[in-house]
Amino acid sequence: MKVNIVSLTCCAGCVSSFLNAGDAFLEILSQDFDIVYSPTFVDLKEVPEVDLAIVEGGVRTEADEKLIREVRAKCKTLVALGICATHGGITSLGNITSVKRLMEKEHFILDSSNLPELEDLMYPICNFVDVDYYIPGCPPMPLLIVHSLKSIVSGKQPLRHQSVVCTECHRKIIVAKLDRLYGIYEKEADPNLCLVSQGFVCLGSLTREGCGAPCPRANFTCFGCRGPTDSLLYRSRDLYTFLVKVISRRTSIPEDDVRKELYRNPFIFHTFIFSKFERSKARERVI
């Protein structure tokens, strides 16, 4: 199968993660994939017609937009790899203010005749083209990528992960009596209790499973890099209210206090609310 690997605006962590699959990567390379276009690894200059295109990164400039349209037109199946491609990712934090205006004010005068124009916002690729499969994650775990791609290559529907990270986290949920929330560096977490029950703002209860919960297992909060679950995507539930209820229930802190604390820090939700993700298009396609 001929494959293109394309990077738009991103950190390249998703393709690194694919490479990190090690032997499984070698196997897919020797048995299934003929990677014909990948500027990071291969010297081909033009985007060729292929069966499968794997795209990491989102659309921040007009050059990205032009490239993703060309890539879509030249492939049969398109896989969006990682949260930047699927939802907009970390760069969407730039949607809070106008990065372009800030730059002009503080950075330097740009001679734009030579540089591609910035889009007004950071967009996931589904705003411009049809996406066949979404594999969110920052980055997605190596085996998740390999298993999903293996299924796609053999014409099977990849296993979809529809539940929340909590199902992959072994911690025990209790109703605690706390008087405030804690930053992750403020105290040591008990390795056996739910992080929310200990007053940490863990997003596991909103976030799609499939990663194996590596962050909570490391005593670190889930920060939602797999994006919202099916139920949050399709039932238009208010994420803030949902999380406020979960935290309040597990900590016994009044909902109003939790709400105030969460509103104080919009960065907590970067993978959820700043992106321009078109959820109606993603139905049944998020892996």
Partner 1 sequence: MSGQKEITISPTTRIEGHGKVTIILDDAGNVSDAYFYATEIRGFDYFLRGMEADRLPFIISRICGVCSTAHILASVKTIESIYGTEITETARKLRELLLMGQTISNQSLVFFFLTLPDFWFSSEEDPSKRNAFQIMRENPETGKKAITLRSFATKILDVIGKREVHIVSVIPGGLINPLKEREREELLKAAENACAITREAVALGKELFEKNWADFRKAGDYRTYYMALTKDDALEFYDGKIRVIKPDGDTFSEFSPQDYMEHVEERHYEWTYAKFACLKALGCPEGTVQVGPTARMNVNKRATTELANKELTEFKRKFGSPAYATLLFDYARLIDLTYACERARELLEDASITKTDTRVRVKPKEGRGVGVVEAPRGTLAHDYVLARSGRLKHMRLIIPTQVNSSAINLNVKDAAMEFIKHGEVKPGLLNRIEMVVRAYDPCIKCATRRVGESLQVEIRNSRGELLKVL
For residue 176, give Cα distances in angstroms to 22, 173, 207, 209, 253. 42, 9, 22, 25, 9
Is residue 156 a contact residue for partner 1 (CB under 8 A)?
A: no
Out of 4, 13, 149, 277, the residue judged to bind partner 1 by CB under 8 A? 13
Span interacting with partner 1, options 68-76, 114-122, 235-243, 254-262, rule CB under 8 A: 114-122
Min. distance of Cβ 177 from partner 1 in angstroms? 23
Q: Please count the other Cβ atoms lying within 10 Å of the Cβ belonging to residue 63.
A: 16
Is residue 45 a contact residue for partner 1 (CB under 8 A)?
A: yes
Is residue 200 a contact residue for partner 1 (CB under 8 A)?
A: no
Q: CB within 8 A of 77, min separation 6: which ones?
A: 51, 52, 53, 132, 133, 152
Estimate to the nearest angstrom the gap between the alpha carbon of 103 and the chain centroid.
26
Contact 54, 5 (CB under 8 A): yes
Is residue 236 a contact residue for partner 1 (CB under 8 A)?
A: no
Span interacting with partner 1, options 36-44, 151-159, 170-178, 277-285, rule CB under 8 A: 36-44
Out of 94, 128, 248, 273, the residue judged to bind partner 1 by CB under 8 A? 94
Span interacting with partner 1, options 150-158, 168-176, 218-226, 245-253, rule CB under 8 A: 218-226
Nearer to partner 1, 139 or 158 (CB): 139
Out of 55, 71, 88, 91, the residue judged to bind partner 1 by CB under 8 A? 91
Element (H, E) at 134: strand 133-135
Out of 170, 190, 265, 283, the residue judged to bind partner 1 by CB under 8 A? 265
Q: Which residues pair with 61 in a beta bridge?
A: 118
Is residue 93 a contact residue for partner 1 (CB under 8 A)?
A: yes
For residue 276, give Cα distances in angstroms to 71, 121, 127, 214, 239. 21, 8, 8, 27, 15
